[in-house]
Structure 1
Amino acid sequence: MGGGGEDEYESLPTHSVAVHLSAGALAGAVEHCVMFPFDSVKTRMQSLCPCPETKCPTPVHSLASIIKREGWLRPLRGVNAVAAGSMPAHALYFTVYEKMKGFLTNNSVGHANTLAYGASGVVATLVHDAIMNPAEVVKQRMQMAFSPYGSSLECARCVLNREGIGAFYRSYTTSLAMNVPFQAIHFMGYEFWQHILNPEHKYDPKSHLIAGGLAGGLAAAITTPMDCVKTVLNTQQTAETTAENANRRIFLHSNSSSYYKGITDAVRMIYTQRGMAGFSCGLQARVIFQVPATALSWSVYELFKFMLSMEESQK
């Protein structure tokens, strides 16, 4: 893109809520859907339910194992649930981030604003997770080996009927405990690399791609232990479901002593079954998922923010 277009980018009306909502929704769909098969691998590796993928040497081998045993489409089960949740969640996520960042920095840029970027990411996460958590529960139960659900809607209905609405938010505090530091590191990292690679903060696809990938990969690696806890909480099910699906060999918890009510129970069970190594399960798959996903998310967001803002400026 020529210099004139880049200069215009700095003066575009990017404060528009409609622009942030639209660009954020598109970015969310891309982030969660493009690399979804590796997210399925990560979920299986982190869950305490036994499945062959836990014995595979790499995430690529795990993905090949799923496809070989269950078909090409199996790694995509649950993608419709996450797509439906990610669009409104990310629309508000990016909008809240942009508004908070503008408020805390007075619309200035630079290293001096690092903490403001992190704080803005934290506030955006609170909104994002409140919307996204139910979709995560459905998605992860659909991703499990021998999952009994025929569709995401069936899964959501069964969870609601058997376990109540609380099942959709059982991992909410865990998600926040993971996503608050994740998003703080993510946004601070993105803005840091933008300042290095794109100090004038013009529209620059290459810098958005690289900065997003580096920031997302680092944040994913650091917060993997809490992601393991979240997965264990999301994928547990009830004794009633166990009886109904015994012929499918689904590993489910059938008594109160093995029912994880919160972070402490899940941490204890992970350590009991897998030791400290249990808290790094799925790290490779998570980073493989997050680096391109975050890179694409920021690239799509910045692209559509640029395009939509250009449209507004011409009206």
Structure 2
Amino acid sequence: MIEEIDYEGLDHESMAINMLAGAMAGISEHAVMYPVDSIKTRMQVLSTSPAAVYSNMSEAFTRISSTEGTRRLWRGVASVIWGAGPAHAVYFGTYELAKELAGGNSNGYSFVATASAGALATIASDALMNPFDVVKQRMQVHGSQFRTVAGCFSSVYKAEGLSAFYVSYPTTLTMTVPFTAVQFSTYEFIKDKLNPSQTYSPLTHVTAGGIAGAVAAAVTTPLDVCKTLLQTRGSSDDAAIRKARGMSDAARIIWERQGAAGFARGMTPRILTNVPSNALCCESFVAPS
């Protein structure tokens, strides 16, 4: 006989705290590193304008600061603040609820329960965050005329419809799988090498987490470049880019225009944005309560 789930018995207070903590962490993570993320977007966008082509991160920062002002690097930050809070709250809330319903909290560690909860949490949070990420990148690109998040949402929707906010969603989910796999496998490997005795060591977890974030970010940069092309296609003056319908189209265009090197664009700033967030994330998971 199947035992009924006692929804009233779930620890709602703990879930609320996890959701709030996740929301605050998400907002802080994205906001603090936002200028670096803006540079990453600029470097990844395929542009026909020489003024919008940057060979490295230093050049991008110098040119953007001197010609557009450093404040330009913050344009669109409101979009990630609006989206990151709810998306991270949904992630942690979905993860905890799904794990509880699958018995992951009462029957000891369960790989199936944990993995399933993580997958559902990712699908839910990315579905919420994707439109905000599209708006963010539309506001970050060179020559963007969008000044407000609401104005960008409205303009993109009127010109391209709802699909513009989700054309990159399958690519985003595809990127999450290898990112997570590389992140956790690297983290465990580095942690065991640095702390074979397995004693509690915050520095070990932070260091291993930071390195794992860097490796995972580097490995998945090609998918991130494809995602950027899809999310900024409506701002491009290139007909082929504007007609891109998915990851295969994006990958083909990048390969034809820039070859293998094109898939590494923006790798340095992408690594820099992931190192601190993953370091803090890994430490928070293992910190004693």
Q: What's the TM-score bracket when you normalise by the shorter of the two chains?
A: 0.7 to 0.9
5+ unaligned residues in a row in structure 1: which ranges?
Answer: 1-12, 239-250, 310-315
How many percent of aligned residue pairs carry the same amino acid? 40
- What is residue 4 of structure 2 aligned with on the other side? none
State the structure with bigger RCO (CA 8 A, min sep 6), 1 or 2: 1
Match of 1:280 in 2: 264
8 Å CA contact 1:121, 1:184 repeated in 2: no
1:63-103: per-residue Cα shift (whole Å, max 9, x none)?
A: 22211111111111111101111111112223444555674
The partner residue of 2:215 within 207, 213, 218 is 218
Cα separation, partners in 2 of 1:108 and 1:284, compared to 1, 3 Å: farther
Closer, same or farther: CA 101–89 of 1 in aligned 2, 3 Å: same
Equivalent of 2:237, from 246, 249, 252? 252
CA RMSD of aligned residues (A): 3.2
Distance across 2 between alignment mates of 1:218 and 1:200? 22
How far is the alpha carbon of 1:25 from its aligned partner?
0.6
- Partner residue, 2:83: 85
Q: CA deviation at 1:104?
A: 4.8
Q: Does the C-alpha gap of structure 1 residues 115 and 194 become closer, same or farther in structure 2, counting only changes over 3 Å?
A: farther
Find 1:130's aligned residue among 127, 130, 137: 127
1:97/1:121 contact within 8 Å kept? yes
Q: Is the 8 A contact 2:241 2:253 kept in 1?
A: no
Q: How many correspondences in the alignment?
A: 275
Q: Does the 8 Å CA contact 2:15/2:96 hold for their aligned counterparts?
A: no
Q: Deviations over 1:289-315 (max 9, x none)?
A: 11123224455x559x97xx7xxxxxx
The whole-number CA distance in structure 2 between the counterparts of 1:198 and 1:76 is 42
Equivalent position SS for 1:237: helix
Instruction: Tell whether the 8 Å contact from 1:149 to 1:155 is kept in structure 2 after alignment.
Output: yes
Q: How does 1:1-315 map to 2 (within 5 A)?
A: 16-49=14-47, 50=49, 52=51, 54-56=53-55, 58-98=56-96, 103-104=103-104, 120-190=117-187, 197=195, 205-237=202-234, 251-253=236-238, 255=239, 258-298=242-282
Q: Which moved more, 1:222-231 or 1:61-70?
A: 61-70
CA shift in 2, pair 1:252/1:118, >3 Å? farther
Corresponding letter in the other structure for 2:34? F
* CA displacement at 1:129 relative to structure 2: 0.7
Determine the C-alpha separation between the residues in 2 that align with 1:101 and 1:189. 24
Q: Quick check: 1:53–1:66 contact (8 Å CA) kept in 2?
A: no
Cα 1:88–1:107 change in 2 (3 A) is farther
CA distance in 2, matches of 1:62, 1:298: 31
Q: Which residue of 1 aligns with 2:3?
A: none
| SS at 2:70 equivalent | coil
